[in-house]
Amino acid sequence: MAIINFERTSFHVDAPGMFTTVQDSGRVGYQQFGMPVAGPMDGESYALGQALVGNFEPKGALECTVLAPTLTLRGNCIVAFTGADMQPTINHVKVPRYIPFLCHAGDVISGGFAQCGMRMYISFSGGIDVPLVNGSVATHTKSKIGGFYGRPLQVGDTVYLHRVSVTDVTICRFDDTLHRLFNVALYNRGGRYCHDPFRVVLGAQSEAFTKDGIEAFGSGLYTLTERCDRMGFRLKGPTITHKIGADIISDGAVFGSIQVPADGQPIVLMADRQTTGGYTKIGTVITPDLPRLSQLPVGDDIRFHLISIEEGQYLYKEYMSIWQQRIDLARLQHRYIFDTDC
Q: In terms of CB distance, is 115 or 134 closer to another protein?
A: 134
Q: Is 28 in the site for another protein (CB under 8 A)?
A: yes
What's the CA gap between 69 and 293, in Å, rounded?
23
Q: In terms of CB distance, is 190 or 283 closer to another protein?
A: 283
Among 12, 74, 142, 151, binds another protein (CB under 8 A): 142
Q: In terms of CB distance, is 189 or 281 closer to another protein?
A: 281
Q: How far is the CB of 102 from another protein (least distance, A)?
A: 35
Q: Which of residues 195-224 bind another protein (CB under 8 A)?
A: 201, 203-204
Q: Is 312 in the site for another protein (CB under 8 A)?
A: yes
Q: Which amino acid is at 121?
A: Y
Stretch that binds another protein, among 50-58, 154-162, 183-191, 310-318 (CB under 8 A): 310-318
Q: How far is the CB of 48 from another protein (least distance, A)?
A: 19
Q: Which of 267, 259, 283 is nearest to 206 (CA)?
A: 283
Among 286, 293, 306, 337, binds another protein (CB under 8 A): 286
Q: Decide: 77 and 164 in contact? Cβ < 8 Å.
A: yes
Q: Is 34 in the site for another protein (CB under 8 A)?
A: yes
Q: Which of residues 234-263 bind another protein (CB under 8 A)?
A: 245-247, 249-254, 256-257, 261-263
Stretch that binds another protein, among 31-39, 56-64, 74-82, 159-167 (CB under 8 A): 31-39
Stretch that binds another protein, among 2-10, 72-80, 96-104, 142-150 (CB under 8 A): 142-150
Binding mask 47-86 for another protein (x = CB under 8 A): ----------------------------------------
What's the CA gap between 190 and 205, in Å, rounded?
30
Q: How far is the CB of 284 from another protein (least distance, A)?
A: 3
214 phi, psi to nearest 5 deg? -70, -35
Q: Which amino acid is at 140?
A: H
Q: Decide: 126 and 6 in contact? Cβ < 8 Å.
A: yes
Among 16, 17, 36, 117, binds another protein (CB under 8 A): 36
Q: How far is the CB of 292 from another protein (least distance, A)?
A: 15
Binding site for another protein (CB under 8 A): 28-29, 31-36, 133, 142-145, 201, 203-204, 231, 245-247, 249-254, 256-257, 261-263, 274-279, 281, 283-288, 309-310, 312-313, 315-317, 320
